[in-house]
Amino acid sequence: MLEIKQISKQFRGEAVLRDLSFTLQQHEMLSILGRSGSGKTTLLKVLAGLEAADSGTVLLEGKDLSQKPANQRGIVYLYQEALLFPHLNVFENIAFGLRLRKVPEMEVRRKVGHLLERLQLPEQSTKMPEQLSGGQRQRVAFGRALVIEPQVLLLDEPFGALDTETRRSMQQLLKRVAKDLGLTAIFVTHDLKEAMLMGDRLGMMDGGQLKIYGNRAEFIADEQTGALEEARFWTDLQSIKLTK
């Protein structure tokens, strides 16, 4: 379980995170909806150990992570861009974390092979990153993160750069993989539908403050999330069509 207690962070005197507290249960995916500049990326970077919080604590399975460097936290942060290493092929990109840990070759082949199958990439294993499509690159990025079995996965708008069709198929793929592997993850996005689709629980971030909703109905009922406005739009559109 990941526990975040009263995290605050300022940049040049401006509060980016204000006293944030929440918990993330094991095998749970928390979707956080937020506009640009709401502080969601900073929150993920603080959790990953890439930014230091001004105050507050981050506990993972009861252990304080505040003083632990990013490479010892067991938390992987995935960016909007796939950021594949351009000098390595697909297999070696996925195997990267295992190579860092000097895992025996047989074990590397087994684990990477398994992930290539799961992410529908077995034919791409010897290709270089520039030979892949946007969706394939993002799948390799997932594979690279999942192969080291992180305790928590942080996804910072991972489908933001993909076209609508690829985005939809990637959402389904991630949902399926998350369920199969029992991932514990935080998924941040500015897309309302994506947030609702991906999260087991939903949250809304605004002005450095995070509101976690008890259930889906609460999230929809809150005007701030924009879910009601979206629903009204589609209802109005439907009624216009019917009257015509």
Partner 1 sequence: MSRLTKIVLIGLILFPFAFLLMLSLGRQWPYPVLLPEQWSLSNWQVVLGGSEGLGNSVLLSVLLSLSVATLSTGLSFWVSRHIAYHPKREAWLSLAYFPYVFAPVILAACLQFFFIVGGLYGTFGGVLLAQLFITFPYGVIFFSSFWNERLRSMEELVKTLGGSTRQAYAKVLVPVAKGALMTCFFQLFLISWFEYGLTNLIGVGKVPTLTLRVFQYVNEANVFLAALASCLLIMPPVILLWLNRQVVFQERNI
First-to-last C-alpha distance (Å) of the chain: 53
Residue 9 sits at φ, ψ, to 5 deg, of: -155, 135
Crossing angle (nearest 10°) for helices 134-146 and 105-118: 140
- Nearest distance from residue 230's CB to partner 1, in Å? 32
Q: Binding of partner 1 at residue 83 (CB under 8 A)?
A: yes
**Which of 27, 35, 99, 110 is the binder for partner 1 (CB under 8 A)?**
99
Q: How far is CA 101 from CA 108, 115, 147, 188, in A?
A: 10, 18, 12, 29
Q: Exposed (0-12), middle (13-18) or buried (19+): which is 242, by Cβ within 10 Å?
A: exposed
Q: Which stretch binds partner 1 (CB under 8 A): 1-9, 96-104, 180-188, 210-218?
A: 96-104
Q: Binding of partner 1 at residue 62 (CB under 8 A)?
A: no
Q: In what order do the strands lie in the sheet with 201-206?
A: 75-78, 152-156, 185-189, 29-34, 201-206, 209-212
Q: Binding of partner 1 at residue 77 (CB under 8 A)?
A: yes
- Give the residue ranges of DSSP H helices in the chain: 40-48, 90-100, 105-118, 134-146, 164-181, 192-198, 216-221, 227-243
Residue 149: name the closest of 196, 109, 184 by CA.
Answer: 184
Q: Which stretch binds partner 1 (CB under 8 A): 67-75, 108-116, 185-193, 216-224?
A: 67-75
CB nearer to partner 1: pick between 38 and 41: 41
Q: Rounded CA gap, 131 and 178, in Å? A: 27
Question: Using CB under 8 A as the criterion, what x/- string covers residues 108-147 for binding partner 1?
Answer: --------------------x---------------xx--
**Which of 13, 62, 69, 214 is the binder for partner 1 (CB under 8 A)?**
69
DSSP helix/strand/coil, 90: helix
What region does 32 belong to: left with phi over 0, alpha with psi -120 to 50, or beta? Answer: beta
Q: Binding of partner 1 at residue 87 (CB under 8 A)?
A: yes
CB nearer to partner 1: pick between 145 and 202: 145
Q: Binding of partner 1 at residue 159 (CB under 8 A)?
A: no
CB nearer to partner 1: pick between 9 and 202: 9
- Nearest distance from residue 79's CB to partner 1, in Å? 5
Q: Which stretch binds partner 1 (CB under 8 A): 25-33, 34-42, 98-106, 230-238?
A: 98-106
Q: Binding of partner 1 at residue 13 (CB under 8 A)?
A: no
- Residues forming contacts to partner 1 in the complex (CB under 8 A) are 48-50, 69-73, 75-79, 81, 83, 85-87, 96-97, 99-101, 128, 144-145, 148
